Structures are given as structure tokens and as C-alpha cells.
Amino acid sequence: SCNAATISYNTFEPFKPLPFIFLSVEKYPGNPMMGRREIMDGKAGKYTWVTYKEVYDTVIKVGASIRSCGINKGGRCGIYGGNSPEWVVSMQ
């Protein structure tokens, strides 16, 4: 059964996301990488940001979750998503 909650973060350490994120997280871990605007009463509000490190950590966890379902390097799976920060993370 596919259960991301039981994944050990270190189990999949050899797998790295795209070089862009890997290099950037080393140089700028606390810098903002992706943002989204809060929508309040139908109007765009302030941006909320996630850092390079937060995105990297999420990418590693998503990859580990996918691999826990039996999809390994070179395997294929479909991910459906809209244009959002989560979409960018899932494609890494």
C-alpha cells in the first residue's frame, strides 16, 4: 500500500531533484523561491513565499512518496495538476 506517512526521509537521499533546485538550495536556502497570492474577497492580496530549502524538502518527500508506490528511476506515473507552486514541486 502507498503510504507517504511511513517514508523515512533518508531512505531516498541518493535521488536528487533537478540541478537548478539542488544548486540554488545550497547557495540561497532561506531566500524566497515560489510565491502565491492570497485571494481575499475575490481580490489578490499579499504574496506568501516558500524558500528554496522548503521547496527542496518538499520535492524530496514527494519523490520518496512516489517511489514508495513502486515507481522507480525510469518508471512513469501521471500527475495531474493546475498551474501552481505544487505543480512545479511535483514535476521535480
Domain positions in the chain are: 15-90
Q: Are 46 and 24 in contact, with CB atoms under 8 Å apart?
A: no
CB 55 within 8 A of CB 34: yes
Supply 7's cell numbers. 517514508
Q: In whole angstroms, what is the distance from residue 69 CA to residue 47 CA?
A: 34
pLDDT of residue 53: 92
Average confidence score pLDDT of the chain: 77
Look at the pTM and tell me if it is higher than 0.85: no
Read off the C-alpha cell for 72: 522507480
pLDDT in tens, 24-48: 888 999 999 888 888 889 898 999 9
1: number of Cβ within 10 Å: 5
pLDDT at position 30: 96
